[in-house]
C-alpha cells in the first residue's frame, strides 16, 4: 500500500468528522438533523465508511460493490425520509466530494504524484455511481414525506436543469421517460390563486409532469408524440387560471431539456395571449418576431409602425384578422362584422399611414410581425 493510502486510512476518522461538521456549518437542514446525537453518529459512521472503502477498493483496483451501493442508497433514503430538500442533498454531495479532494491533497507527499493522479482518475466514476445510488435512495425516502404532485414538480425542475438526477426521480413518481419531449411554456399575465392546481391538473388529468415557475410561467414536459394532449392541457390551464396565456413550445431529446426550455420561454414572450389557446407556437411560427425581439433597433422600428397604426379604427386588429384569414377579404370582413368596402378602406388607410401595402409579400412579412409584437405586448 502506498504512503498516500496509508495516510488516508489513518486520517479517515478525523477527516470524516471534519467533513460532517463542514456540512453542519453550511447546511441548516442538515444541521437540524444532526442535533439528534444518534443521527449525527450515523452521519459520522457513514463518512468513515466511505473513506475506508475508498482506500480498500482503490488498493484492490476494484469498484463499488452491490453491498457498498446498498449502504449508500440506505443513507440517501434516510435523508429523504427526514424531508431534506433536494437542494440541500445536492449541496451535501458536493461538499463531501470537495472534502475528499481536499483530504487527498493534504495527504499527498512529494513522491505521491503518480498514485494521487491514478486515485483521482479512479475516484470520478466511483463518485458518480455513489451519487446516483444516494439520489435513488433519497427519492425513495421522499415517498413517505412528499405528496406525488410535489415529487412530480421536483422531477420537472430537475429535468429542466438537464440533471441526470432526474432519472431517479422518474421512478419514484411513476414517470415513464420518453425519447423526445415538447417543452411547453404557458405565460400568464398574473400568478394564479393556486399554482399547485395547475401542476395537479397536468399530472392527475393528463399524466404530464409540470411545474410552476415564479412569477408567471407554467412549464410542462409533454411526450413529443402527444402534441394533441399538449393542446388540451394548455387550454385547460388557461381555463383553470381564468386568464389568457401566451404559449411557446420547443421539441428536444431528454438531454437537451434545459436548452429547449430557454427557447420555449423566448417563444412565449412574443406570442399573443389567448383565453382559449388553439395553437402551440414553435420557432418556425415566430421566427421574425424572435429576431425582432433580439434586435432592439428592429423592435423599435416595429413599435413605431404599430404607433402609426394607432391612428385609425383598430387597424392592428383588422390586420390580425386579415392575415388569420389568409388575405381572404370576404371572410375577414365577416369575421370583423364589417362590410368588405370598409375592410378595403382600412387596408388603404394602413398603406397610407405606413407606406407598406399589407397585401404584398413585403407587407405580409413586416406587418404580420408588427401585429404579433403588438398583441404579445398587450
Confidence of residue 168 (pLDDT cuts 50, 70, 90): low
Q: What pLDDT was estimated at residue 102?
A: 93
| Total number of domains constituting the chain | 3
User: Per the domain annotation, does 34 fall within a domain?
Assistant: yes
Q: What pLDDT was estimated at residue 310?
A: 83
pLDDT, tens only, 63-81 = 999 999 999 999 999 998 8
Q: What pLDDT was estimated at residue 167?
A: 66
Using CA of residue 291, residue 297, residue 298, residue 303, what is the dihedral sign?
positive
User: Per the domain annotation, does 160 fall within a domain?
Assistant: no
Domain residues for the domain of 366 are 289-376
**How many other C-beta atoms are found inside a 10 Å radius of the C-beta of residue 42?**
15
Helices (H) and strands (E) in the chain, counts: 18, 4
pLDDT, tens only, 130-154 = 998 998 888 888 877 778 888 888 8
pLDDT over 70 at 195, yes or no: yes
Which H or E run contains 217? strand 217-223
SS (H, E, C) 245-300: EEEEEEEECHHHHHHHHHHHHHHHCCCCCECCCCCCCCCCCCHHHHHHHHCHHHHH
pLDDT over 90 at 303, yes or no: no
pLDDT over 80 at 377, yes or no: no
Which comes out higher in pLDDT, residue 34 or 255? Answer: 34
User: Per the domain annotation, does 344 fall within a domain?
Assistant: yes
Confidence of residue 98 (pLDDT cuts 50, 70, 90): very high
pTM over 0.95: no
User: Per the domain annotation, does 260 fall within a domain?
Assistant: yes
pLDDT over 90 at 109, yes or no: no
- CATH number, domain of 235, equals 3.30.70.1230
The secondary structure of 333-350 as a DSSP string is HHHHTS-HHHHHHHHHHH
- Does residue 219 sit in the same domain as residue 265? yes
- CATH number, domain of 296, equals 1.10.10.2840
Q: At which of 142, 161, 193 does a domain end?
A: 142
Q: What pLDDT was estimated at residue 163?
A: 59
Which comes out higher in pLDDT, residue 378 or 346? Answer: 346
- Does residue 261 sit in the same domain as residue 356? no
Confidence of residue 378 (pLDDT cuts 50, 70, 90): low
Confidence of residue 121 (pLDDT cuts 50, 70, 90): very high
Amino acid at each position: 500500500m502506498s504512503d498516500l493510502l496509508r495516510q488516508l486510512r489513518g486520517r479517515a476518522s478525523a477527516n470524516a468528522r471534519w467533513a460532517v461538521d463542514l456540512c453542519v456549518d453550511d447546511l441548516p437542514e442538515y444541521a437540524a438533523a444532526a442535533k439528534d446525537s444518534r443521527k449525527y453518529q450515523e452521519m459520522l459512521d457513514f463518512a468513515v465508511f466511505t473513506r475506508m472503502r475508498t482506500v480498500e477498493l482503490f488498493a484492490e483496483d476494484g469498484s463499488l460493490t452491490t453491498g457498498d451501493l446498498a449502504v449508500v442508497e440506505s443513507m440517501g433514503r434516510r435523508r429523504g425520509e427526514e424531508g431534506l430538500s433536494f437542494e440541500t442533498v445536492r449541496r451535501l454531495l458536493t461538499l463531501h466530494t470537495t472534502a475528499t479532494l481536499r483530504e487527498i491533497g493534504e495527504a499527498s507527499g512529494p513522491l505521491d504524484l503518480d498514485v494521487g493522479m491514478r486515485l483521482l482518475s479512479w475516484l470520478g466514476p466511483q463518485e458518480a455511481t455513489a451519487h446516483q445510488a444516494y439520489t435513488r435512495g433519497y427519492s425513495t425516502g421522499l415517498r413517505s414525506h412528499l405528496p406525488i404532485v410535489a415529487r412530480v414538480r421536483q422531477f420537472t425542475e430537475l429535468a429542466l436543469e438537464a440533471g441526470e438526477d432526474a432519472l431517479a426521480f422518474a421512478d419514484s413518481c411513476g414517470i415513464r421517460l420518453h425519447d423526445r419531449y415538447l417543452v411547453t411554456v404557458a405565460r400568464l399575465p398574473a400568478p394564479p390563486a393556486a399554482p399547485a392546481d395547475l401542476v395537479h391538473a397536468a399530472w392527475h388529468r393528463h399524466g404530464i409532469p409540470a411545474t410552476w415557475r415564479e412569477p408567471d410561467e407554467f412549464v410542462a414536459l409533454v411526450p413529443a408524440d402527444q402534441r394533441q394532449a399538449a393542446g388540451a392541457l394548455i387550454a385547460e390551464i388557461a381555463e383553470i387560471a381564468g386568464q389568457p396565456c401566451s404559449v411557446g413550445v420547443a421539441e428536444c431529446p431528454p438531454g437537451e431539456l434545459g436548452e429547449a426550455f430557454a427557447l420555449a420561454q423566448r417563444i412565449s414572450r412574443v406570442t399573443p395571449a389567448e383565453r382559449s389557446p388553439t395553437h402551440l407556437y414553435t420557432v418556425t411560427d415566430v421566427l421574425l418576431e424572435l429576431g425582432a425581439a433580439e434586435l432592439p433597433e428592429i423592435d423599435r422600428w416595429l413599435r413605431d409602425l404599430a404607433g402609426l397604426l394607432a391612428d385609425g379604427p383598430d387597424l392592428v386588429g383588422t390586420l390580425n384578422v386579415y392575415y388569420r384569414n389568409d388575405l381572404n377579404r370576404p371572410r375577414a370582413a365577416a369575421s370583423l362584422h364589417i362590410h368588405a368596402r370598409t375592410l378595403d378602406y382600412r387596408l388603404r388607410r394602413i398603406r397610407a399611414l405606413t407606406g407598406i401595402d399589407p397585401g404584398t409579400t413585403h407587407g405580409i412579412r413586416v406587418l404580420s410581425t408588427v401585429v404579433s409584437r403588438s398583441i404579445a405586448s398587450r
